[in-house]
Amino acid sequence: MALVTVFVLAGSYQAKSQINTGISFNTFYVQLSPYGRWVDNADYGQVWIANANGFEPYSNNGHWVFTNYGWTWVSDYAWGWAPFHYGRWAYIQSYGWAWIPGYEWAPAWVSWCQYDGYYGWAPMGPGMGFNMGFGGIPYNHWRFVRHRYINSPNVYQHYQRPAIKSSAYNQVTIINNTQVNNNVTYATGPAQQEVERVTRKKIQPKEVNFTEETAPATPVTGNTVRIYRPALKGNTVTIPAEGTVKQPVKPVATEQAAPAVNNTEPVKPIRVPAPVKQPVDKEPQAIKEVEQPAPVRDRELQPIKNRENEAVRQDAIKKQEAIKTQQQYEEQQEDIKRQREESIRQQQLKEQQAAEQQRRQDELRRQREQQAEIRRQQQEQIRQEKMQQQQIKKEEKEQKIVPREQPAASKPLQPVKPTKKG
């Protein structure tokens, strides 16, 4: 009997019916191990947890760029080529954010929405579709920015969390714009024309160029975004749609019978350990053997592993508490900022109203002063007219007074006649 390696599949994450054989679990395991740790989860199988402190997917160290594939998350992490473009994210209470490997590439596996002048996005979890309502994703998993900041290189500086009560969830619009590429459907985010309309800026789509050269961050030069992607073999393996594609947890080797001696007493079957092989460059086959992850530790190391897992769990709990405290602090600061802005707005409104009232009072006072001046001029005019009339009457009265009689003219003296003496 030939040796066959069988992998036990654990969890309930339903993968797509088409997977690209050029990307393997071993590729993810080897290239992501320096930047995080792999954990065997009961629900999802092997998951990866980043070492970055305070990490949140599609939030830290990255920004959105509009490309020929739609809105693409450009990561500043050296490992960003994998978790932001393949697989899904899940929040596990014991560890925080954990990445579940997947094999279909997309510019980003997120759900988009818009509300009251904001664009929002949230990581898509296992089994989530693009038509899931806003309430189907925990509210604190969403990130929001004002429309004008969606393509800002420093988008993380503009994150806000608008107060959306559960009764207003139906007012949040889910953006269901999708695109199909190589039989893979993914969300493209807000439409280019819509973003140009609300931001009043022209957006030039950039071209995504895939490269096999790794980089410390995803470079954006001119109109080009260079994204690392391991070499693809080209052929695909078709998995039945109803099947469950999960990450291998551990190999179980089948028993191989040894040849019989003299065809009389067959040797008891012995267990042969499954070899660990890394794919080599060779011609792809129609059906490729399922590749094996890194070997599982021996049984005698299990207590050490348990202690390490407990320490990791406690560390993750502390980190999550710190993140929660930080989020509460940020929310309090946002509330204080909104209250301060509202107070300033109210103060400005009061000042405007007071200025308007003062202007009206000044205008009323000027009108009263003008009216008083007009009345004074009228009274002065009346007084002058009265004085003129009095003067005229006085003059007329003086003219009516009779003039004094002139003395009679003296008669010429007559010569006195001499009287006769008698």
- 281 and 337 part of one domain: no
pTM: 0.53
Rounded Cα–Cα distance for residues 263 and 72 (Å): 66
Mean pLDDT for the chain overall: 75
pLDDT at residue 73 in the model: 96
- 185 and 235 part of one domain: yes
Q: Is residue 52 part of a domain?
A: yes
- Boundary (domain end) residue, out of 256, 279, 294: 294
pLDDT at residue 261 in the model: 34
- 235 and 92 part of one domain: yes
- 194 and 216 part of one domain: yes
Q: What is the mean pLDDT of residues 91-97?
A: 91
Q: Is residue 79 part of a domain?
A: yes
Q: Is residue 381 part of a domain?
A: no
Q: Is residue 302 part of a domain?
A: yes
Give the model confidence (pLDDT) of 259-290 as tens digits: 333 333 333 333 333 333 333 333 333 333 33
Give the model confidence (pLDDT) of 197-209 as tens digits: 988 889 999 999 9
- Boundary (domain end) residue, out of 294, 324, 357: 294
- 35 and 60 part of one domain: yes
Span of 179-183, 211-215, 394-398 with lowest mean pLDDT:
394-398
- 349 and 370 part of one domain: yes
Q: Is residue 415 part of a domain?
A: no
Give the model confidence (pLDDT) of 133-153 as tens digits: 788 888 889 999 999 999 999
- 177 and 312 part of one domain: no
Q: Is residue 301 part of a domain?
A: yes
- Percent of the chain topping pLDDT 70: 71
Q: Which two tokens stand for residue 215?
A: 């980089």
- 60 and 142 part of one domain: yes
**pLDDT greater at residue 105 or residue 294:** 105
Span of 239-253, 298-312, 316-330, 406-420 with lowest mean pLDDT:
239-253
- 189 and 320 part of one domain: no
Q: Is residue 405 part of a domain?
A: no
pLDDT at residue 419 in the model: 59
- 258 and 153 part of one domain: yes
Give the model confidence (pLDDT) of 298-353 as tens digits: 444 455 556 666 777 777 777 777 777 777 777 788 788 888 888 888 888 888 89
- 222 and 274 part of one domain: yes
Expressed as residue numbers, the domain containing 163 is: 5-294
- pLDDT band of 56, cuts 50, 70, 90: very high
| Closest CA relative to residue 10, chosen from 293, 224, 227 | 293
The count of domains in the chain is 2
- Boundary (domain end) residue, out of 294, 312, 341: 294
| Closest CA relative to residue 114, chosen from 145, 139, 91, 89 | 145
Model confidence at 90: pLDDT above 90: yes
- 17 and 93 part of one domain: yes
